Chain A
Amino acid sequence: MMQHFPVLAVMVLFLGAFLVEIFGSKSRLTRNIIALAAASLSFVFIAALVKPVMIDGQIISYWMGNWTPVEGYAIGIGYEIDQLNLFFALLVVLTFLLSGIYSIRYMEKDRHLGHYYTLYLMLSGGVLGLVLTGDMFNMFVMVEIMTFAAVALTAFRNNGRGALEAAFKYLVIGSIGSSMTLTGIALLYMQCHTLSMAQISAMLAKGLSPTGIMALALIFIGFGVKSFIVPFHAPAADAYAAAPTSISMIFSGMVNKAGVYGMIRIVYTVFQAMDLEPMSLLLVFLGTITMFIGVTMALAQHDFKRLLAFHSISQIGYVITAVGLGTALGITGGLFHAMNHTLFKGLLFLCAGAVLYRTGTTDLDKLGGLSKKMPKTAICFLVGAFSISGLPPFNGFASKWMVYQATYSKAVETGNFAYALVTVIAVVVSVMTLASFIKVTQAVFFGQLPESCENVTEVPLSMRIPMWIMSALCIFGGVCYGFVNKYLLAPATEAAINVSRYIDVMMGDGYAASYGVVDMTVAPAGFSYWDPLVWLVLFIVVLLAFCIVIVTGRNTRGEVLEAKPELVDPKYDTFFSGEESMHSHVGGSDLFWGFRTDWKGYFDFMQGMHSGIVNDYAIWAVTATGCAALFMFLFIH
């Protein structure tokens, strides 16, 4: 029974999409019920697989139509769920379920919501199918479904500023990526005459012919386009900003990760190319420049969601760098950071959506002081901001520390100084991320409230629930990271490395051995930074200090500190050197002025490069493909 669950999980979403289209255009209640029911059912199916796959260590293999391999040749479409698939599938279902709950209130003022839910379910189904499948062409079809639904959703609010052009650029660049993937799959088919990933990886175990190298380059670039690494990142910035926020959360949480999953699967399992040093260098190089360019561009933005989009790009750079190292600690760190990124970036986008829902703008120059009106959103935002900056005890710190340790250990292991520089760049990028989020906190939540935001209230409960769930998971991931490591990360890392088991389960025992598949040897990961005693001590000291502050802060009449709005004593106003106080909020583009002036040449160059013209972005994509293919041909043999 259990082996039907993966297919059912995907099918229920597509079925839900069609049902919403047929029945949901009239009644809002029917629409919401069908959409949420489909999403929840899918979540239940995937969650039911956690025990057998993650904990007991089985691998589920399922051939559609029961077309099992004939005489060692795969002729059907296979779905194979091992721990790596299930890890990403869990992230996917969690994200789209929370997004669905959020959209109930968030999207209520839009029209054509029937189409919205249809597209949302198709997008979710496409990504889930991509993550669960074991067949190359099925992966391509799911990628196309995902791209299509994503483009349509980006353009959903087509009166919005720039929504149509963002969708068009996403479509063009995404279509270049998909075409590369399809060409690569065609070349792969030419070489192996089969489409099942298990059988292809067995056949390519001996080494890569030139066709194979070209196929690897093309498919790798195709998935790179989908995960928006530099230099394919420009449409991502536009699309995340223009899409409705519940969809932006899906983009940054699922669609990115689907691209990352594709890259891991292709490089580790299908081509077994991770042993090759040039491949590792290519991944680390791409990851590092992605990290750096993402965060420096983010410092120059003054639109809230575009800034979050650039940070998404930067964090994916961390994941690609860690995964590209090829060590167990690296893969664990990369996967952990992917999971944490889904959680904290989803949380940040939901907070941005809450601000947009209530104030109607995401321009950092026009907002301010919202923590007085939306305190709960402010707390969730601070949790997300501290997580992404890598401050303990949140989850971002644990995963970023794993990434630093992985890169520095690889530097020491191989003696290659470049990896030490990667560690240094990673830490600097982390500090710049912190800077960027301090800027957003000051510009949006702290500071003075402008008059246009006087009537803002807190967002409704159904929008707050996903935010709370994600904050709780952020804190949980940081505090109990050992638990997460044991049950989620270690099995997934095992699965990524252990190729022969993947092949054997699909094609029959002994198949892998007959083709001479050799597993990658990696040293086991050892990692510990956690000392609970430290935190107990901190808690005691903090508690004592708080008591001192509260006790000594009573004024002469013994009242505890309070700044009631009724008190019109001028000592409670903001200090203005004796002038009358007026609205003078320092936020948005005013912050980090000195830093931006210092780097004026760099920022002018980068902002000139991101010209907004689709042809420029296409030229980058094609040039990058050419360079990657050339690099691989020269160095892999």
Chain B
Amino acid sequence: MTILKDLFYILVFPGALFAAVIGLLLAGIDRKVLARMQKRVGPPLRQPFYDFFKLMGKETIIPHAANKAAYLAAPVMSVASLMLMMLFIPIFGFSAFSGRADLIVLLYLITIPGVALIIGGSASGSPYAGIGISREMVTMMAYELPFIIVLLAVARKVGGSELCFSMQGIADWQAANGCALFHWALIPAAIAMLLVIPAEVGTQPFDVAEAETEICEGPLIEYSGAPLGLFKLATAIKMFVMTALFTALFLGGIRTGFVALDAVILVAICAVLTVLCMTLIHAVTARLKIEHLFKFYWTIVTGLALISLILVWLGL
């Protein structure tokens, strides 16, 4: 019976189906709101679904220079690890699998989609992809540092002198002590996290790795058909996963007791966060160069995260 329940969690809620649907929905919201901000009409909210199913039906072309195994495995690993991440992020008190060391699992799972994109681009053998993966790797280096510091700060704040790495533990602590965001020592960390999210997802101004106008989408240039569809799906799920992670870490104190209602509130908060930290910044800014991106993350964003870590360390 537990096998069936686990399979339900993995495949439907909060795993594959739920993550995919909500992710594509958030991607649609992002495109629609962006269009409205730019005084256009924009595609319908369902457009990412149409795109995904269209891509699934197209032919997959593997270029001569590509390494077939890595080329096909990369999008699959990307989507699989993101769906797996969704299982560990609690939806306000309900979490499918929770252990003692969830933050560790999340930390390593979150590098896998980036590495999968890099390996996929590298395996396709195109020079545009080569440039793209180099920029993607530098972007990963840039945002990993503040991300780690934010997680360390939250673990220390929640756990006190024994660090708490369990997501369920963080959710329980916030239910008891109020949202983590309201503890002012963690506000710089929250701002840092909001700035890390667009870089993880790859929207402007941090999308130098997939710059459409410069390097023709970089690592994804030779992809077509189902693998490309899976990569686009991975980007969409990543939007959902990152905003859900932010909610779980910093806004986790809400408990209504009904899982369905919690899920709806989560989706609403994620939509607001998507508009705030992705669409808004996308509409207003231009693309940063890789040197500027790196400097930005390692000075300003890391600075904010470090302030939070120091404040938490001092016991505030």
Determine whether A and B are in direct contact in the complex, meaning some CB atoms lie less than 8 angstroms apart: yes
Cα separation A601 to B258 with both chains bound (whole Å): 57
Q: Specify which chain A residues have a CB less than 8 angstroms from the CB of B81 in the assembled complex.
A: 538
Q: Which residue of A lies closest to B290 (CB)?
A: A594
Identify B105's interface contact among A449, A529, A550, CB under 8 A. Answer: A529
Q: Specify which chain B residues have a CB less than 8 angstroms from the CB of A538 in the assembled complex.
A: 80-81, 84
The reply to whether the CB of A401 lies closer than 8 angstroms to some CB of chain B is yes
B191 to chain A, nearest CB (A): 18
Q: Specify which chain A residues have a CB less than 8 angstroms from the CB of B62 in the assembled complex.
A: 561-563, 572
Identify B57's interface contact among A409, A552, A573, CB under 8 A. Answer: A552
Q: What 0/1 pattern do residues 509 to 551 of A give for CB contact below 8 A with B?
A: 0000000000000000000110101100110111001101110
Q: Specify which chain B residues have a CB less than 8 angstroms from the CB of A449 in the assembled complex.
A: 65
Contact B125 A574 (CB under 8 A): yes
Tell whether A447 pairs with B68 under 8 Å between CB atoms, given A434-B115, A531-B99: no
Stretch of B43-51, B148-156, B276-284 at the chain-chain interface: B148-156
B9 to chain A, nearest CB (A): 9
Q: Specify which chain A residues have a CB less than 8 angstroms from the CB of B286 in the assembled complex.
A: none
Q: Specify which chain A residues have a CB less than 8 angstroms from the CB of B61 in the assembled complex.
A: 563, 571-572
Q: What 0/1 pattern do residues 37 to 69 of B give for CB contact below 8 A with A?
A: 000000000000000000011011111111110
The reply to whether the CB of B226 lies closer than 8 angstroms to some CB of chain A is yes
Tell whether A574 pairs with B126 under 8 Å between CB atoms, given A541-B80, A598-B291: yes
Tell whether A545 pairs with B127 under 8 Å between CB atoms, given A391-B112, A594-B138: no
Stretch of B129-137, B180-188, B194-202, B242-250 at the chain-chain interface: B129-137
B111 to chain A, nearest CB (A): 7
CB contacts under 8 Å to A, within B137-191, are 137-138, 140-141, 144-145, 148-149, 152, 156, 161-163
Contact B133 A438 (CB under 8 A): yes
Contact A541 B83 (CB under 8 A): yes
B69 to chain A, nearest CB (A): 8
The reply to whether the CB of B23 lies closer than 8 angstroms to some CB of chain A is no
Q: Specify which chain A residues have a CB less than 8 angstroms from the CB of B289 in the assembled complex.
A: 594
Contact B127 A586 (CB under 8 A): yes
Q: Report which residue of A420, A529, A553 has the largest number of chain B beta carbons within 10 angstroms of its beta carbon.
A: A553
Contact B59 A555 (CB under 8 A): yes
Q: Specify which chain B residues have a CB less than 8 angstroms from the CB of A529 in the assembled complex.
A: 101, 104-105
Cα separation A526 to B294 with both chains bound (whole Å): 37
Cα separation A412 to B195 with both chains bound (whole Å): 28
Q: Which residue of A lies closest to B129 (CB)?
A: A586
Cα separation A417 to B153 with both chains bound (whole Å): 12
The reply to whether the CB of A159 lies closer than 8 angstroms to some CB of chain B is no
Q: Specify which chain B residues have a CB less than 8 angstroms from the CB of A594 in the assembled complex.
A: 134-135, 138, 289-291, 294
Q: Specify which chain A residues have a CB less than 8 angstroms from the CB of B226 in the assembled complex.
A: 548-549, 552-553
CB contacts under 8 Å to B, within A562-599, are 562-563, 565, 571-575, 577, 584-587, 590-595, 597-598
Q: What 0/1 pattern do residues 439 to 458 of A give for CB contact below 8 A with B?
A: 10110011111000000000
Contact B63 A587 (CB under 8 A): no
Q: Which residue of B lies closest to A574 (CB)?
A: B126
Cα separation A369 to B67 with both chains bound (whole Å): 9
The reply to whether the CB of B122 lies closer than 8 angstroms to some CB of chain A is yes
Q: Specify which chain A residues have a CB less than 8 angstroms from the CB of B79 in the assembled complex.
A: 541, 545
Contact B108 A593 (CB under 8 A): no
Q: Specify which chain A residues have a CB less than 8 angstroms from the CB of B133 in the assembled complex.
A: 438, 442, 591
Q: Specify which chain B residues have a CB less than 8 angstroms from the CB of A409 in the assembled complex.
A: 163
Cα separation A493 to B182 with both chains bound (whole Å): 44
Q: Specify which chain A residues have a CB less than 8 angstroms from the CB of B131 in the assembled complex.
A: 586, 590
Cα separation A449 to B62 with both chains bound (whole Å): 16
Q: What 0/1 pattern do residues 111 to 125 of B give for CB contact below 8 A with A?
A: 110010011001101
CB contacts under 8 Å to B, within A586-637, are 586-587, 590-595, 597-598
The reply to whether the CB of A115 lies closer than 8 angstroms to some CB of chain B is no
Cα separation A423 to B135 with both chains bound (whole Å): 25
Cα separation A586 to B133 with both chains bound (whole Å): 10
Q: Specify which chain B residues have a CB less than 8 angstroms from the CB of A420 in the assembled complex.
A: 152, 309, 313
CB-based closest 5 A-B pairs: A586-B130, A553-B60, A594-B290, A446-B122, A563-B62
Contacts A431-B144, A441-B119, A572-B64 aside, 19 further interface pairs with beta carbons under 8 A come to: A420-B152, A423-B152, A432-B141, A435-B137, A435-B138, A435-B140, A442-B133, A445-B67, A447-B65, A541-B16, A542-B76, A546-B73, A549-B227, A550-B72, A552-B56, A563-B62, A563-B66, A572-B61, A574-B126
Q: Can you list 17 pairs linking A and B with CB atoms under 8 Å apart?
A: A401-B104, A435-B138, A438-B115, A438-B119, A439-B134, A447-B130, A448-B125, A537-B87, A546-B73, A549-B72, A565-B64, A574-B125, A574-B126, A585-B130, A590-B134, A594-B138, A595-B290
Which B residues are within 8 Å of any A CB, using their own CB? 6, 10, 15-16, 56-57, 59-68, 70, 72-73, 75-77, 79-81, 83-84, 87, 97, 99-101, 104-105, 108, 111-112, 115, 118-119, 122-123, 125-131, 133-135, 137-138, 140-141, 144-145, 148-149, 152, 156, 161-163, 216, 221-222, 225-227, 230, 289-291, 294-295, 309-310, 313
